[in-house]
């Protein structure tokens, strides 16, 4: 590797270390306490190095969100690859529900929630989620598979699935069991089936 290449690789490694540290701090301290100073300490880098990569807290928050979104997408892909059953709608919804329980998804929800009373965070989130929204639509479309690509009701089923999963996830904090939520998911799978395959039921 050339000296320039080595320096670029070192810069990238430092940047990744800072973003990973930011996620650790977010997990341990919560959003409000995720300051550039705390992240700098956790990453073990100099103030100069931190400010070189992230001149403002907003830059850091933006990178943190991008990383969470990237991890979320990876979790959905893994969940899809391991989801059981032959039914593609069931596999897709169950994989999305499983992915919503992953830490990266829960931390992202923490950010959304904190954004209600934090304008800087909200601005960063809106920017990051605009790009992520397109990715998510792509991931969900892939989850439902070729069979439903172009199905006119797929956008409805997609947005309902995501809203339902977010709502169940929020309620889950008060539950000691996932039974009720799993039941709701199963019922939604069967409804989503009817929506995507109207003839399968109505015309019989």
User: Shortest approach of a second copy to residue 110 CB, angstroms?
Assistant: 7
Written as six digits, the tokens of 50 are: 């931190």
Sign of CA dihedral 132, 161, 192, 189: positive
User: Shortest approach of a second copy to residue 33 CB, angstroms?
Assistant: 9
The answer to whether residue 129 forms part of the interface with a second copy (CB under 8 A) is yes
User: Shortest approach of a second copy to residue 56 CB, angstroms?
Assistant: 20
CB 24 within 8 A of CB 42: yes
Written as six digits, the tokens of 99 are: 């992915």
Q: Which of residues 159-178 bind a second copy (CB under 8 A)?
A: 159-160, 162-171, 173-174
The answer to whether residue 200 forms part of the interface with a second copy (CB under 8 A) is no
Gyration radius of the chain over CA positions: 20
CB 75 within 8 A of CB 102: yes
Q: How far apart are CA 151 and CA 149, in angstroms?
A: 6
Closest CB to a second copy among 32 and 149? 32
The residue behind tokens 């960063």 is: 124
Q: Which of residues 57-96 bind a second copy (CB under 8 A)?
A: none
Q: Which residues bind a second copy (CB under 8 A)?
A: 30, 32, 106, 109-110, 112-113, 115-117, 122, 125-126, 129, 156, 159-160, 162-171, 173-174, 180, 184, 187-188, 191, 195, 201-202
């Amino acid at each position: 590797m050339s000296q320039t290449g080595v320096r670029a690789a070192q810069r990238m490694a430092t940047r990744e270390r800072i973003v990973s540290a930011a996620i650790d701090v977010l997990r341990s301290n919560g959003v409000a306490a995720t300051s550039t100073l705390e992240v700098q300490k956790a990453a073990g880098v100099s103030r100069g190095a931190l400010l070189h990569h992230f001149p403002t807290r907003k830059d850091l928050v933006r990178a943190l969100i991008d990383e969470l979104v990237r991890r979320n997408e990876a979790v959905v892909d893994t969940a899809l690859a391991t989801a059981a059953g032959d039914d593609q709608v069931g596999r897709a919804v169950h994989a999305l529900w499983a992915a919503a329980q992953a830490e990266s998804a829960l931390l992202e929800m923490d950010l959304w929630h904190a954004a209600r009373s934090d304008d800087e965070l909200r601005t960063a989130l809106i920017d990051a989620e605009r790009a992520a929204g397109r990715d998510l639509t792509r991931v969900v479309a892939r989850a439902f598979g070729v069979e439903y690509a172009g199905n006119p009701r797929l956008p409805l089923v997609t947005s309902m699935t995501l809203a339902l999963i977010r709502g169940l996830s929020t309620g889950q904090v008060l539950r000691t069991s996932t039974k009720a939520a799993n039941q709701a998911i199963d019922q939604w799978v069967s409804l989503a089936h009817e929506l995507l395959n109207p003839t399968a039921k109505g015309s019989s």
